[in-house]
Amino acid sequence: MKIGIIVTDQGDWTALALVRSIKKIGATPILLRLDEITACVGSPNIPGTCDIDAVIVRDVGAGAFEQVSFKFDLLKILASDIPVINTPEAIRNAANKYYSLHLLQKSGLPVPKTAVTCDPDVAIKILDDWGEIVIKPIFGYKGIGITRFRSDPERSIQNRDSIDKILAERGVLYIQEFIPMNRDMRVFVVGKTVAGSIYRYAETGWITNLSQNGRPLPCVLNQSQKEASVLAAEAVGATFAGVDLAETKDGFVILEVNGTPSGKGIFDACGVDVTKNIVELCSTMARR
């Protein structure tokens, strides 16, 4: 059996762990970079993929609109032939923070108060009503570009300026109530089970992403956190996912679902290699 791994950085921990896990089940890993593929319309296969039995997407990477679209089109064409996990649709759903939260909310899952607007006056009104908010990029990742605002008459001019600046950059404002916390939870779901979970403690500031100096520590989930995480992955259509939970005074909310999650934090904190679960599940789906 040959299992393709879509990578952007083949030295990344999760990519290397997937290679090891694929070899451990006696299959052959084939690393594929979508930006190295030349696709000719009318050719029967995408070059380099004709004898692959299934594909695991580690990472698609960011880029210009046309470049990202092309990569997703390649994944869609591959997925029409062989199992691809996660599917391009699931990755796209999860990557979009507004659409994914809509799907989660529709599935009855707890999410933070969130609004999206192109009107800066509406954003200021929300800030004043909610007291404290974060504004995030809709297609953000690794905690990059998240800004926190506190409603304060003495800061109203600065707040308005910053909101106008973000709006000029992005054309839209994804606004969420600020949830006070010094840690969040990252839950790694594979199939219908939780393969691992960690707390991520904010070491500097308030953002907990490991790429922003967050510290991973083991975390034991309660049953409803486990069930909600599995349902969240399902809501976006993901076979495996990293689900971010924030604890609140009433329980917890789901901040987002990651369709191309790293397994490194869970390995570092708990010694659990989630790629083993992904590869085992993938092998049961492969075409031979």
Ligand X SMILES: Nc1ncnc2c1ncn2[C@@H]1O[C@H](COP(=O)(O)OP(=O)(O)O)[C@@H](O)[C@H]1O
Name the site residues for Mg ion (rule: CB under 5 A).
244
- Find the binding residues for ligand X in span 187-206 (CB under 6 A): none
At 209, which helix (H) or strand (E)?
none
Q: Measured from the CB of residue 209, what is the shortest distance to ligand X in angstroms?
A: 5
Max distance between CA atoms of the chain, in angstroms, equals 66
Q: Measured from the CB of residue 132, what is the shortest distance to ligand X in angstroms?
A: 8
**Cα gap 214→28, rounded to integer Å:** 34
**Cα gap 89→107, rounded to integer Å:** 17
Edge-to-edge strands of the sheet including 28-32?
Answer: 28-32, 2-6, 54-57, 84-85
Q: Closer to Mg ion by CB, 6 or 207: give it.
A: 207
Partner touching 283 among ligand X, Mg ion, none, CB below 5 to 8 Å by kind: none
Q: Measured from the CB of residue 157, what is the shortest distance to Mg ion in angstroms?
A: 31
Q: Closer to ligand X by CB, 77 or 146: give it.
A: 146
> Which residue number is nearest to Mg ion in terms of Cβ?
244
Residues of the chain by 3-state class (helix, strand, coil), percent to 5: 40, 25, 35
Crossing angle of helices 13-24 and 274-285, in 10° steps, is 50
Partner touching 141 among Mg ion, ligand X, none, CB below 5 to 8 Å by kind: ligand X
Q: Measured from the CB of residue 150, what is the shortest distance to Mg ion in angstroms?
A: 22
3-state DSSP assignment of residue 153: helix
Under the criterion CB under 6 A, does residue 229 sit at the interface with ligand X?
A: no
Partner touching 208 among ligand X, Mg ion, none, CB below 5 to 8 Å by kind: ligand X
Question: Do 32 and 5 touch, CB atoms closer than 8 A?
Answer: yes
Binds ligand X (CB under 6 A): choice among 197, 209, 225, 239: 209
Task: Output the six-digit token pair for 113.
Answer: 């108060």
Closest CA to 90 of 63, 77, 72: 72
Under the criterion CB under 6 A, does residue 86 sit at the interface with ligand X?
A: no
Under the criterion CB under 6 A, does residue 98 sit at the interface with ligand X?
A: no
The window from 51-59, 63-71, 159-167, 172-180 that contacts ligand X (CB under 6 A) reads: 172-180
- Find the binding residues for ligand X in span 101-160 (CB under 6 A): 112, 134, 136, 140-143, 146
Closest CA to 123 of 147, 99, 93: 147
